[in-house]
Amino acid sequence: MPRGTPDGKPLRWKCLLAYDGTGFAGWQKQPSGLAIQDKVEEALAQIFGARVRTIGSGRTDAGVHAKGQVFHFDAPWTHPISSLLQALRTHCPTGISPRAISHVPSDFHALLTAQGKRYCYRACQGWALPEVDRFVYSLKEKSVDLALMREAAKAFIGEHDFSAFSASRGEKDRGESKVRKVWKVSVDELDQELQFIVEGGGFLYKMVRGMVGALLDVGSGKLLLSDIQEILESKKRTGRIVSAPAKGLCLEEVFYHPSL
């Protein structure tokens, strides 16, 4: 473990991180060593000469991107904070970009003190250009009704059991509540791109992708408006819900109390 500061206690650091999830196994550490967390901890080990444990605000699936992932770690640092940020940027591989680092109180916890998150899902109406194809889902020849999707999105607002829109992780799900609170689901059109913004207090495995997939199916006529409420109330995942591909999803922001 890293040596402490002169009083024997490492400092707690909060880091804001962006990454291109393509080719990585999501945020959380994996036996393969190909997760974002694996690469960040490898970088920190090079900086501090010892293993440094990180705790993230939550998981992102393989292929999902982030502009605003947050993690914290404890380590001594007596140099300018800008030097720590530069060192982390230098040691992280291409596709992982630390955006900011700040010293926070010891009771800050990237996961436990988070108050909510904002995700953005991007879908291209038609075929995406090569330079953005890894970040958007191309609808190709599928046409969708924006008004219908906006109406369907209203069913998600509030506190619900979202079992029907999430995916099982087996034993890891045992005992976990499936109730989540969602306070915003918007669908906007920017040129040829659709942007689905989803905000809530927390999300289940593949929940946002399940919600977006369902809205796109409403927009294309595969599902009826009434189906969304019916499926939500069933609390059972079935083949009627098809998750939108991971590459269109981005974790944009994690919300904390202003003092943190």
pLDDT per residue as tens digits for the range 9-46:
789 999 999 999 999 999 999 999 999 999 999 999 99
Q: Which residues, listed in sequence order, are joined to residue 100 by a DSSP beta bridge? A: 16
How many other C-beta atoms can be found within 10 angstroms of the C-beta atom of residue 46?
Answer: 14
Give the architecture-level CATH label for domain 11-104.
Answer: 2-Layer Sandwich (3.30)
Among residues 7, 20, 38, 61, the one annotated as catalytic is 61
Q: From 3.40.1160.10, 3.30.70.660, 3.40.1170.10, 3.60.21.10, which CATH number describes the 116-255 domain?
A: 3.30.70.660
pLDDT at residue 1, as a whole number: 39
Q: How confident is the model at residue 5 (pLDDT cuts 50, 70, 90)?
A: low
Q: What's the pTM value of the predicted model, to 2 decimals?
A: 0.93
Domain coordinates in residue numbering, the chain: 11-104, 116-255
Which one has a higher pLDDT value, 7 or 97?
A: 97
Same fold, 11-104 and 116-255: yes
Active site residue 61: yes
List the one residue out of 57, 72, 182 whose CA is nearest residue 114. Answer: 57
Nearest alpha carbon to residue 29 among 62, 7, 73: 62
- Work out whether the CA dihedral 164, 170, 173, 174 comes out positive or negative: positive
195: Cα separation from own chain's centroid: 15
